[in-house]
């Protein structure tokens, strides 16, 4: 199976041999490395860490191992139980904790789980911090507490409710306007914690809710990545129920997709575009997304006289650029909304509340709202290379060939042509180049991708 160690955490499949999968031994080792790093970084005698999990079948086992490892290091644990990634992120500062761990493999299938690591601000660790933890794990440099100094575990399982109250308090969330609109919505919670959080939020906003796959049992009824090809059931149910729209989240509730009243995808890329349009209409400011996200965010930002900037791929990179450029909203084209008025993390609850307010204010259908935004189409491809090829050299050659165009080398090579763009990135784990293109028609996006694949093949041959 698989075990992937990275600066953002450890991710792997359950079962099998140690060091090849996310086994109990690997879980303990990595939790001990994180706890040791916290102790090394802090001057405090007693540390506190918030831990929550999505509804994966392996979640309880992985959580018990993680919590007991931390208490073995003398660290106190706040157990928020079944939770969402953004819920744990807001719990860390509210609890005045020193860090947090979310046990979730995000949109990966049910056999996967992961430890995602947070700092004292409830934000993902940066590369330098993650590298220190990987080093500690590799060397097993742990010093456990003596019996009188063991940590404690305190259960606080109402944090989803606290999270919802924090969302409702946001200035740009107009609860009364949403209630007056009388929305009817279908929710696909992919049998994880979104099935708890999203319906609860909607009911607080006076929305009529039809629940689909909202039982948090970890048995995902379809591939949990919220893409069109996985969402036939909710698309059909929205039409059958004559709902105003549908809401889909991934298992840890940091990615958000909408279905319009006709059972058609609003487009994951346009989740951020719509929420940004609303926020920018009320707040003067800038936006950030990553280099592989839609140009539509730039267009909407320009419309509101803001400045758009693109970061390297990865939430930690988006957040850093948002801070550097004082962005009022940002995120990723995979349906991740980051709204600093709440916190610096992708949050589907915040996204839902902003989207509902926007829709209630405009008093139009979801399909009509989608038509207000520029239409772009994406193509996502990859080209496999032999391990001996110099991928960096290939990307340099592409850059030289297009030196007269607008080029970014922040993360691979992105070439902005007047009417479309292409973004080439090398994989960190396998000899491939990922090729993302966007254009004003699907045909044009696909053709641009094929043209770039041929160009790379010409360079290689």
Residues 6 or more apart in contact with residue 393 via CB below 8 angstroms: none
Identify the burial level of 284 via C-beta atoms within 10 angstroms of its C-beta, where 0-12 means exposed, 13-18 middle and 19 or more buried: exposed
Output the six-digit token pair for 87: 């819920």
Question: Residue 190 and residue 247: Cα distance in Å, rounded?
Answer: 11
Question: Residue 307 and residue 165: Cα distance in Å, rounded?
Answer: 31
Identify the burial level of 363 via C-beta atoms within 10 angstroms of its C-beta, where 0-12 means exposed, 13-18 middle and 19 or more buried: exposed
Catalytic-labelled residue, pool 8, 83, 106, 379 = 106
Residues 6 or more apart in contact with residue 345 via CB below 8 angstroms: 85, 86, 89, 90, 122, 123, 124, 254, 315, 319, 338
The answer to whether 274 and 364 have CB atoms below 8 angstroms apart is: no
The answer to whether 348 and 256 have CB atoms below 8 angstroms apart is: yes
Output the six-digit token pair for 115: 């430890």
106 is catalytic: yes
Residues 6 or more apart in contact with residue 242 via CB below 8 angstroms: 184, 261
Output the six-digit token pair for 76: 């106190």
Active site positions, annotated: 106
């Amino acid at each position: 199976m698989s075990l992937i160690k990275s600066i953002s955490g450890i991710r792997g499949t359950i079962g099998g041999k140690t060091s090849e999968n996310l086994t109990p031994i690997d879980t303990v080792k990595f939790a001990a490395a994180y706890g040791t790093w916290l102790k090394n970084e802090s001057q405090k005698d007693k540390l506190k860490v918030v831990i929550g999990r999505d509804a994966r079948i392996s979640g309880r086992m992985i959580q018990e191992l993680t919590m007991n490892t931390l208490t073995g290091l003398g660290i106190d644990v706040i157990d928020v139980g079944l939770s969402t990634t953004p819920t744990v992120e807001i719990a860390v500062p509210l609890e005045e904790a020193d860090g947090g761990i979310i046990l979730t493999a995000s949109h990966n299938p049910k056999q996967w789980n992961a430890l995602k690591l947070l700092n004292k601000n409830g934000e993902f660790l940066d590369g330098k911090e993650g590298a220190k933890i990987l080093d500690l794990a590799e060397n097993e440099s742990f010093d456990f507490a003596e019996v009188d100094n063991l940590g404690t575990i305190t259960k606080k399982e109402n944090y989803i409710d606290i999270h919802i109250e924090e969302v409702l308090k946001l200035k740009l969330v107009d609860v009364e306007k949403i209630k007056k609109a009388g929305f009817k919505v279908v929710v696909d919670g992919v049998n994880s914690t979104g099935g708890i959080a999203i319906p609860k939020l909607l009911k607080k906003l006076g929305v009529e809710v039809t629940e689909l796959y909202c039982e948090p049992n970890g048995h995902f009824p379809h591939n949990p990545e919220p893409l069109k090809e996985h969402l036939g059931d909710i698309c059909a149910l929205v039409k059958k129920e004559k709902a105003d729209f549908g809401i889909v989240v991934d298992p840890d509730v940091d990615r958000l997709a909408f279905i319009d009243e006709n059972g058609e995808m609003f487009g994951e890329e346009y989740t951020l575009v719509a929420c940004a349009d609303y926020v920018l209409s009320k707040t003067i400011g800038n936006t950030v997304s990553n280099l592989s996200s839609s140009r539509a965010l730039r267009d909407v930002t320009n419309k509101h006289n803001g400045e758009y900037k693109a970061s390297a791929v990865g939430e930690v990179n988006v957040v850093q650029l948002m801070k550097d450029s004082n962005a009022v909203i940002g995120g990723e084209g995979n349906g991740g909304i980051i709204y600093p008025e709440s916190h610096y993390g992708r949050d589907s609850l915040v996204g839902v509340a902003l989207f509902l307010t926007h829709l209630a204010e405009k008093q139009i259908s979801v399909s009509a709202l989608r038509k207000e935004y520029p239409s772009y189409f994406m193509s996502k491809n990859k080209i496999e290379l032999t391990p001996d090829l110099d991928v960096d050299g290939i990307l340099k050659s592409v850059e030289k060939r297009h030196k007269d165009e607008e080029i970014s080398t922040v993360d691979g090579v992105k070439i902005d042509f007047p009417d479309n763009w292409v973004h080439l990135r090398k994989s960190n784990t396998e000899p491939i180049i990922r090729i993302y293109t966007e254009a004003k028609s699907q045909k044009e996006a696909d053709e641009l991708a094929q043209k770039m694949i041929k160009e790379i093949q010409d360079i290689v041959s």
